[in-house]
Amino acid sequence: MEKILKNFFLFLSKNRFFTKLAKRYGLRFGAGRFVAGETIEAAVQTIKELNDKGMSVTIDHLGEFIDSRSEAVAAAEECMEAIRAIADNKLDSQLSLKLTSMGMDIADDLVMDNMRRILDVAEEKDVFVTIDMEDFERCEKTLEIFKKLREDYDHIGTVLQSYLYRTEEDIKALNAYSPNLRLVKGAYKESAKVAFPEKKDVDENLKNIIRIHFMNGNYTAVASHDDAIIDYTKQLVAEKKIPNDRFEFQMLYGIRVDRQEELVKEGYKVRVYVPYGNDWYGYFMRRLAERPANVAFVLKGVFGK
């Protein structure tokens, strides 16, 4: 049943009709648990609250299905506004973005121009930017763009997903760029031709790439809500005597909040991924796909009032 629900919500996440409908009717049906409002002002307030609890943040202006140059340029402008808001309010926050929102599927010159404009502001304001990884189809191009930008900018990192067979080779190839990487399991539906179909193999590969990246001496963001992965990371850093300023744990806004606070009390750096914006539908559906408990929460919120 869990697998059926996951596939159902992943299917819904790619539905353009429901995406447009969700934009029209705003943050309802429980999405507010995972999304910090529709504006940068709402996001700033959320960041302040998390910073007060000792947590760092990365914010993401949500965007799905960018179809035109004007939409991509507008998304880039939103990212630059977010960077300025982080700097102006002296927030402990970074920025995350998706290359499809910057026009990657439209034109190479468009996505590169938008990224360079964003990174120019990020370097000026001393705000780090992470390029989120999307589906397998866009993985190679995302990494190629990251490599080109990394040659000119310091304030940039990206993401690798352990459910892909290719990831171990990717992490080895990226070592030449001394990358700051967020390591995750992956939240997209992929063919068994390119991704591990069994969860146990995804988990083992995540442990594998965490170890490789640590041993390469690069900054590591372990993005997981899985206690087994968190405990593995703790054991590894203790065994290898890796200092706390060389890694962090990352978790999603609204998920396992108690665990986030526990890790902070234990002295670990925790960064919360905080999305905002009115284009929240695809992100919300992927969160429902990840854990049945999230679905139960939403149903309770809708019918329990």
3-state secondary structure the chain: CHHHHHHHHHHHHCCHHHHHHHHHHCCCCCHHHCCCCCCHHHHHHHHHHHHHCCCEEEEEECCCCCCCHHHHHHHHHHHHHHHHHHHHCCCCEEEEECCCCCCCCCCHHHHHHHHHHHHHHHHHHCCCEEECCCCHHHHHHHHHHHHHHHCCCCCEEEEEECCECCHHHHHHHHHHHCCCEEEECCCCCCCCCCECCCHHHHHHHHHHHHHHHHHCCCCEEEECCCHHHHHHHHHHHHHCCCCHHHEEEEEECCCCHHHHHHHHHCCCCEEEEEEECCCCHHHHHHHHHHCHHHHHHHHHHHHCC
Please say if the pLDDT value at position 291 is more than 50.
yes
pLDDT at residue number 289: 60
Considering the domain boundaries, does residue 62 fall inside one?
yes
Please say if the pLDDT value at position 81 is more than 80.
yes
Considering the domain boundaries, does residue 15 fall inside one?
no
pLDDT at residue number 294: 46
pLDDT at residue number 7: 53
Considering the domain boundaries, does residue 246 fall inside one?
yes
pLDDT at residue number 303: 35
Considering the domain boundaries, does residue 2 fall inside one?
no
What's the pLDDT tens digit per position in 8-50? Answer: 445 444 555 544 544 444 445 445 567 887 899 999 999 999 9
How many domains does the structure of the chain reveal?
1
Tell me which of 132, 170, 203, 279 is the catalytic residue: 132
Considering the domain boundaries, does residue 300 fall inside one?
no
Considering the domain boundaries, does residue 275 fall inside one?
yes
Average pLDDT over residues 1-9: 49
pTM: 0.85
Considering the domain boundaries, does residue 141 fall inside one?
yes
Please say if the pLDDT value at position 231 is more than 90.
yes
Q: What's the chain's average pLDDT?
A: 86
Range of the domain at 203: 36-279
60 is catalytic: no
Tell me which of 150, 182, 271, 286 is the catalytic residue: 182
Question: What CATH number is associated with residue 260?
Answer: 3.20.20.220
286 is catalytic: no
Considering the domain boundaries, does residue 170 fall inside one?
yes
pLDDT at residue number 277: 82
